[in-house]
Each structure stands twice: as structure tokens, then as C-alpha cells.
Amino acid sequence: METAEIQRRWLTYFGDRGHSVVPSASLVSDDPTLMFTVAGMVPFIPYLTGVVPSPFDRATSVQKCIRTLDIEEVGKTTRHGTFFQMNGNFSFGDYFKEGAIGFAWELLTSSEADGGLGFRDSDLWVTVYEEDDEAYELWQKVAGVPTSRIQRMGREDNYWSTGQAGPAGPCSEIYFDRGSEFGPDGGPAVDDTRYLELWNLVFMQYAIDNVRSKVDFDVVGELPQKNIDTGMGMERVAFIKQGVANMYEIDQVRPVLDRAAELSGRKYGADPVDDVRMRVVADHVRSALMLMTDGVAPSNDQRGYVLRRLLRRSIRSMQLLGVKEASFPELFSASKDAMAPAYPEVASEFSRTLSLATSEEESFLGTLEAGTTILDVAVSKATDAGQATLDGDTAFVLHDTYGFPIDLTLEMAEEAGLGVDQERFASLMSEQRDRAKQDAKKKRSQVADTSVYREFRQHGETVFLGYDDLRNESSVLGLIRDGIAVSSVGPGDTAEVILAETTLYPESGGQVADQGTLEAPGVVATVLDVQRPVSGLISHTVHVDQGELAVGQSVEVLVDEPNRRRARQAHSATHLIHAALRDTLGPHATQAGSLNRSGYMRLDFSWTQGLAADQKLEIEAIANRAIHDDLEVSTKVLPIDEAKALGAMALFGEKYGDTVRMVDIGGPWSRELCAGTHVASSAQIGVINLVHESSISAGARRVEALVGMEALSEFSRERELVAGLQQTLKAPRADIPARIDELINQVRQMEKTIESLTQKGLGGAIERLAPTATTYGPVNGVVGRADEVASADDLRHVAQNVLQRLGSGAQLVALGADIAGRATIVVVANSDAVDQGVHAGNLVKESVAVVGGGGGGKPQLAQGGGPDAAGLDKALETLASSLRQL
């Protein structure tokens, strides 16, 4: 049974039984405390916790999820995957334990011909919370499961909570018995490898408090509304139904694994180490494909860093399989073909995602080359010091800072005859993971903070009136100070104000929050920020300047009109620049983020290379022509499917409901889904001055522009700059570029003259030193001073040229110089000298110790120095003596 068919059966089954079928949310979580959607219930948290009233009594979804905490286990077990799909059914005060158990058992055990999943009753086991007698009895009554296959488990395994005070409840899990060849008898309590968890049913029925740990808390009562949250692991069901050994061999993953095997010329199943590498590639390529389809781009922080790590681990694994050249075009194409039947957007966005992937691969292949150089130096130092192992700190820095994979470090160190302190490396990695987990735990703990908004949200959604008006009368529904609801706030207080309606725009869609005031007789509060802490609710953070604000009070809401006007100009300018980018570069130059504030706009877009000067001029010109043409700006609220059919762009990172707001500028030329505020016609923008374009990550660029009066001010500053250049260069405006080129050429010619004179001086040193070669033990060489040089680079240049003059045989040159009051020594030797026991690095270390310094290097080239320039002759004599003793 194909994975897409399991998805279809799931949604059909629950849809036919009165559940609202909810599309998968983006992998980019709405929850500000989560980077990704990590579980199927995440999009439903506001409804399950009661913060936001649920729009449906029962729902079902197949949710895309990403988890990377156990990334090191990927490929080694049957079930660890970074991307997975969680099939869920949810009840919000509707059915409870009996209904959830009945649905789960019927879908699992009904025949495939009847639309079920066709599992045999006898292969399924159930666990319940040890004190949940109700669930224990219902499994027997509703599903007919014998008590011999129902096991009671403790809080550690069968109790769900957020880890904070709030809703919680017992769990019941369904396991599949894979057979005696996978482990001992005795059910999931004995072996969870043989008995594989398929489905988890959470019965959210209690309120808990005084949470001391996952298993230590106080149950303080029953919830007024009992909810159901269940999750069935799609990949686990798929690999059982498809008769394969693990999740990496199912139909959505195996094609990538097979392509990796073909490219490497190695056979899957022949070598356990290679098998793990192929499974890592298969998993990570799929995860990266899905993340990029949802708008994530590789970068060095947050979501982009996780994506970059997945991509780099894939490249690393292909390298260890012997594939040194780029392979992403082949691997990602295989993954696209496998995932598109379930997620059509994978195909429609593939050109953009492949461009991001190949750009990252090209960049990282260069990083691997640079990392190899860094590792070579570290290996050389370890060898010089007589160490048998490379220290774990170096391996960790290479891995964590430079992105150089530990597997390659191990392999290359072994080639140099060194081990790696893996225990220290593992310890540092463990510390890093612990920090990440603690940070994640800290962030998760903030989820419960939204409960303070529950009471206010139950009054309904905050009505936003700001599209048409800049002031309104409203009533204070609630006040929050330091995270706690209060009845009033006074002068000097900073607090959140919940209003019934507002004209103040809350930050969203790249547009910053409005500025303004809340006023009443004797009361003035300055608005510091406006946000949507939960869906449908607008919160105003204010500083109370005078008087007292109280719940139930009437206030006048006043928007700062000049600031709003300039923000509107910037937001509409962003739409124009986006359309101009697509006109100039093509449809793949899609927006990936924006910032619009008074007089300034910033737009990030998908593109792999810097814009040429003529492209930037063209983009700016197209946008300003649209302003000149005074295009009408119109908005319309309509169903999302209808808006998309009209060609409206839905932008990454934005969340849309069934009904959307569509903004047209000049008709279909610029047509986007957008909740922001805009000008009435393009001429009101004034002018756009494109001031900067840069890279923000592989495959993503950023343009920045000034808008309106700020753009005019910048033009004035540039005019003053040009006038100053005219005066300084004594040239008319049109001649300034040529005059600057002329000056640059003059400077370059002077630099060449200086370099030539320097080289002539160095040539004299070479001619003087080469004839002084004499025998030092087993080698012929020159040991002397070269005070003609001005830098260490010059000293190396002279030494290497003298060595070339000495010809064949065992030859060495050791030169010293007083450079800016510091004794500097360089030693170069040919391979024959090294064969005779010469090690340039050791010679330098010994000699520079005389001048109070340090240094070292490889057997054929080394450099060092010290502060005691007066001791240079003694240092060179020490070096010569060491040579004679070889």
C-alpha cells in the first residue's frame, strides 16, 4: 500500500465520520517558541488548550513534521527520520475515549477492500496508563482486545502534558507485533523494537499544577471540556504495509536511496556502514526538499541552519560513499518524483528548491576543500608534537564552526596515521545537544503563557478597522501586566491592552506595527507595539503617560497618521519591487521575506547570484514607471481558491485562512495575498531609491530601498557628494568616472613601480646569499641574514629563490632578519633534505627559543620569530649547530 494511499484512506475515513479535513500546516510553525512543526497536534494547540475557540467539533489532518534532536540516530534504526508525517484525529469537547478507541480500531483492522488498513487483530497490542481503568475496560468492550494484550504503563510512558501547569491526561498506545525474529515475547513493556508503536491516543481530561518534572505533578481537577488528540505514524504504518525492513525503504524514501547507490557504484545491503550512509542521504534529502518547498532557505541561524546541516550531512555521506562531484540534481529529482503524489506543491516549486540545493552543494564542496586545508595544518601540528591522536577540541571546532564533518575528519586523520579523541569530541557534542535541549525546553515552557489570553479571545476576534479609519472609539476588554491579567494600570506602567476593536495595525506580513496613542478623559497611553499573540486577538503594548486605564473603560484609539502613511508607501513599494524583480529575472525570483517601515523597505527573494548593475537599474526603473503611471491599488476579500485562480501570489511564511485579502496594483501585474495597509494609487508612493543589494544565504538575495521623502533625501545627499567630487577633482560631473579611473590607474602604476624596486632589492639579496652555501652535516645549505627584506613574506620569497639556485641534492636555506624590531627566521628544505632527517618546523622552534619567541611548520617550510632582535645571530648559529649534529 503506497504512502499516498494510506494518507487518502485516513482522510477519507475520518472525513466520512464528520471530521473537518484540515490541510497540513507549514513545517514553519506559527508558534514563536517552535522553529518547526514537531508534532501533528502543534497547529491545534490553541484549540486544545482553549486559548482560541475551535472552529470545529472534530477534525483530522495528515501533518508534515520535522524533528532533528535525534539526527545522529538517522539511518541506524528502523524508525528515526527527520521528516515524518503524523496522521491525527481530534475532538474538541465532542467524542472522548470510547469514540477515539472505536475509530482507531476500526480503521486499523477493517479490510483493505472496505477502506481500512487491514491489520490483523492478533498482531496488535495496547498500552494504557496504569490508573486509567476506564480505557482498560473500553479496549475490551469496544475493540474486543483480550486482557493478555493490554498492558498498564506509568506516567513516564503513558501520560501527556505540556510540561507546564495546564491541560494533561493519560495516553493509550497501539503497537504492532513484528514477530519473534525481532525480539522476545512479552509485549511492548518488554521490547519496543519487536513491538512497534503505531498510534498514540491522548485523553486530555485533567488540569495539572505544581509541575516538578514529567512524572511529578499534582492533578487538581477535571477539564471543563475534554479533548482527544491522536497521532498515527505514517512512515511506520507504511513500512509495515509495504513489507520492508525500515522507513528508509518505503516508496517515498527508497528512490533516493537507490539513486545514491547508483551514483556511488555501491550496492545497498552489501556493507552495513555504506547502508547507514545511503539511508542518511535518503532521509535528509527528503527532509531538505520539504523544508525548502515550505520556504526555508539555507543560512547560519535558526531554521536555515537546521536545513544547512541536513544538506551538508547529505553531501558528507555521498563523499564517504566515494562520490566527490555534485549529486543533488539527481537525488532531489528522485525525491521530488516520490513526494509529489502526496504533496503536489513539491513539483510546482521544484525549480526554486533545486536551485537552492545545488547552490548550497557547490558552496559546501568548496567548504570541504577549505576544511581539508585546516585539517592538514592540525594534523601537521599533532605529528610535529609526536602525538598519536588529533585532539577532540580541534575535531569539534572543525565540525561545529567550519561545518567539516566528523566522519571525514576521522577518515583523513587515519590516512595521516593519527587517531581522533572521539571521547572528547562526543563529550563536546553532548554538551551542545544538552544546551539545545535546555533552550528548546525553555522555549516550550513559554507555550503555556498564552493561557492569559484565553478569556479575552472567548469574547470573539478583535475587529480591525484600520483599513478605512485612523481613529475609533473602543472599550478595554482586558489588561495584562507582567503576564498577569489585572483590572487597572496607572502612570508609569507598561501593560498590554486588549480592545474590542482597533485601528492600530498589528505587526504582520513584513509591515511593522503602527504607532499611536490611547486616550480618554485624563488618560494618555503611548502605544509601543501592536501584536497578535494568538489567532484573532490583537494586543497593544502601551506605556501609561498619565491617568489610569481600567477594564471596561472607553478609549479613543489614535493612529500616528504620518508614520502610517510612510509605512503604507513602503509596503506598496515592496509589491512594486517584487513585481519588477519577476519582470526582470523571471518567475522564480519569488519573495522570501520582507520588512516595511516608515520610509524604508527590504525584500528577500530566491535567487542564486548577485544582480548586475544594469539589472538593478532596470528593477528600479520598472518600479518607478509604475509610480509614474499612477496605477490603481485595489483590495478584495474573497475565497483563497478563487484568489489563487486569479493568479494571486501566496507568499512563503504567511498563513492564510479560507478567505483572504487580495491586493492588486495595476490589475494582474502585481496581485498578491496581503493583509497589510496600502496606498490608494501608486503615485502616492512618490519615488523608490534602490540603495543596496546583497546575499543573505546560498540561494537568497536581499534588496533594500528608501521610499518617498526618505528616497528624495538620499538623492539630495548623493547630489552633494557628487558636487564635492567635482570640486576636489576639478572636473565636470560627466567626467568624474573617467577622472577617478585615471587616478586609480596612476596608483596602480605607482604600486607596480614600488614592487619592481622592492624585487630588485630582493634580487640583490638572492645573488649575495646563494654563493655562500656550505655543508652542514648531511645537507648543503645557506644559513645567514637577509636584512634587505621588509616583511616576512619577502624573507620567504628570498629563501625559496635561494633554494632553487642551489640545485639538486639535499639542500636547505635558513634566513633571518630584523623586521620592525622583531627577529624573524624562515627555513625551507627540499625533499632530499627531509629524507636526511631535516625538519624545518623543529629547526625553527629550537632557534627562535633563543630570541624569546615561537614558531613551527611542516618539514619543508617553517617560520617563527621573537622580540629579541639582538639575539638573531645567536639564533642562526644555534640552528647551524643543530644541522651539523644531524
State the Cα–Cα distance between residues 284 and 81, nearest whole angstrom.
8
Residue 525 · residue 553 · CB < 8 Å:
no
Give, as one character, the DSSP assignment of residue 504: S
Q: Buried (b) or exposed (e) across 667-698, using 16+ Cβ within 10 A?
A: eebbbbbbbbbbbebbebbbbbbbbebeebbb
Residue 559 · residue 504 · CB < 8 Å:
yes
Cβ atoms < 10 Å from Cβ of 415: 9
571 is in an annotated binding site: yes
Q: Are strands 419-420 and 389-390 parallel, antiparallel or unpaired?
A: parallel
Q: Are strands 166-177 and 159-161 parallel, antiparallel or unpaired?
A: antiparallel
171 is in an annotated binding site: no
State the Cα–Cα distance between residues 71 and 286, nearest whole angstrom.
14
692 is in an annotated binding site: no
Contacts of 263 (CB under 8 A, 6+ apart): 318, 321, 323, 327, 330, 331
Residue 491 · residue 547 · CB < 8 Å:
yes
Half-sphere exposure of 315 (CA within 13 A, CB side): 27
State the Cα–Cα distance between residues 546 and 565, nearest whole angstrom.
27
Strands of the 822-829 sheet, one edge to the other? 774-776, 779-785, 811-819, 822-829, 861-866, 854-857
State the Cα–Cα distance between residues 278 and 276, nearest whole angstrom.
5
State the Cα–Cα distance between residues 6 and 107, nearest whole angstrom.
11
Pull the grid cell for residue 167: 491541560
Measure Cα distances from 833 to 372, 416, 426, 710, 867 in Å.
Answer: 26, 21, 41, 68, 29
Give, as one character, the DSSP assignment of residue 707: E
678 is in an annotated binding site: yes
Residue 762 · residue 788 · CB < 8 Å:
yes
Measure Cα distances from 172 to 41, 135, 564, 770 in Å.
Answer: 16, 8, 53, 86
Pull the grid cell for residue 438: 535546555
Q: Are strands 150-153 and 124-129 parallel, antiparallel or unpaired?
A: parallel
Q: Buried (b) or exposed (e) across 525-545, using 16+ Cβ within 10 A?
A: bebebbbebbeebbbbbbebe
- Cell 541536513, residue located: 310
Name the β-bridge partners of 600.
597, 706
Annotated binding site for Zn(2+): 571, 575, 674, 678
Residues of the binding site = 571, 575, 674, 678
